[in-house]
Amino acid sequence: MMLLLAGYCVLIVAASFCGGWLPFAVELTHRRLQMMISMVGGLMLGIGMFHMLPHAVVAMGPGSLDRAVAWMMLGLLVMFFLIRMFHFHQHDVHIVHAMPDTGQPDGCVVHEHGQNHTHAHQHAVPNHVLSQHAHKPAHPWSWFGVAVGLALHTLIDGVALGASIQADEGHPVLWSLYGFGTFAAIFLHKPLDAISITSIMAAGGWSAGWRHAVNGGFALMCPLGAVLFVTGVDRFAEYQSVLIGGALAFAAGVFVCISLGDLLPELEFHAHDRLKLSAMLLLGVAAAYAIGFLEPAHFHRTPIGSAVDTNEGGQSAR
């Protein structure tokens, strides 16, 4: 299990690094970014509803649906207020390239959603052309709140990954890929978070070295959360099932909040691409549902550590 967790964490860290580097290597357009967000948002929504919540109920045992939903609501509200406090969940590429002569930021400017949102230009600004729109330069420390919020979010993702692996362990899963659905959602979502941090730092004039350093620290938050949960839950073996179930349900609320935070603005601001974005959303949800076929048919009704589920009369549940 620890080897699998280590492998997942290495891949997630690599995805975060690649995400932070991507806007400076290729030209991202607003439409491509939103289509990717819609697909990943659908995947996170499906993982939260199809996998994390049912697994949480199984982990807590029979009659625990109310408790699982309460933990899920708590996770949703915590993430909602984190977003409101730190304003970090904005997958917008602010600045992509630097002007070759001056070294000052220039290039791809992607809109932020707001009351004055407009789509006057749909694609990235070419490298040699300064946007004539009145984009105010970013404050040098405007990235800090984004980084803090995303770091807390990523720490929770690590807890979710550790809980998912713990919940799957001991059950027959294809190729023993415990927690694969949670890993896939985190792996695909981390590059989008890293883009937010590094692009805002570039807009504030920070050097590539500082951007890589901050992105590296951010990337390590997920492994930290996973290790803290896995090592901590072993210290409370008596309450292991309750802790795993509560963590999974809490993470389900976080995933639902994050996914809808990505998806709902698209309904209002992207009417011109509604069919493409809707198709990508459905693709993500379908992928999350398909991951369920990696699990045995009885998994969602077998408590952790038990061969079969039992009712109050002690008879096997069928």
Q: Which residue has the higher pLDDT, 171 or 113?
A: 171
> What does the alpha-carbon distance between residue 34 and residue 32 come to, in Å, rounded to a whole number?
6
> What does the alpha-carbon distance between residue 85 and residue 109 come to, in Å, rounded to a whole number?
25
The model's confidence at residue 29, banded by pLDDT at 50, 70 and 90, is confident
**How large a percentage of the chain has pLDDT more than 70?**
69
Q: In 3D, which of 285, 264, 89, 91 has the Cα closest to residue 181?
A: 285
Which pLDDT score, from 0 to 100, does residue 267 have? 62
Which pLDDT score, from 0 to 100, does residue 180 have? 87
Helices within the chain (DSSP H only)? 2-21, 30-46, 53-60, 65-86, 142-168, 180-203, 208-219, 221-234, 240-269, 274-291
Average per-residue pLDDT for the chain: 76
Which pLDDT score, from 0 to 100, does residue 120 have? 37
φ/ψ of residue 129, rounded to 5 = -120, 125
Stated pTM of the model: 0.71
pLDDT digits (tens, 9 = 90+) for 60-97: 988 889 999 999 999 999 999 988 887 766 555 554 44
> What does the alpha-carbon distance between residue 105 and residue 193 come to, in Å, rounded to a whole number?
20
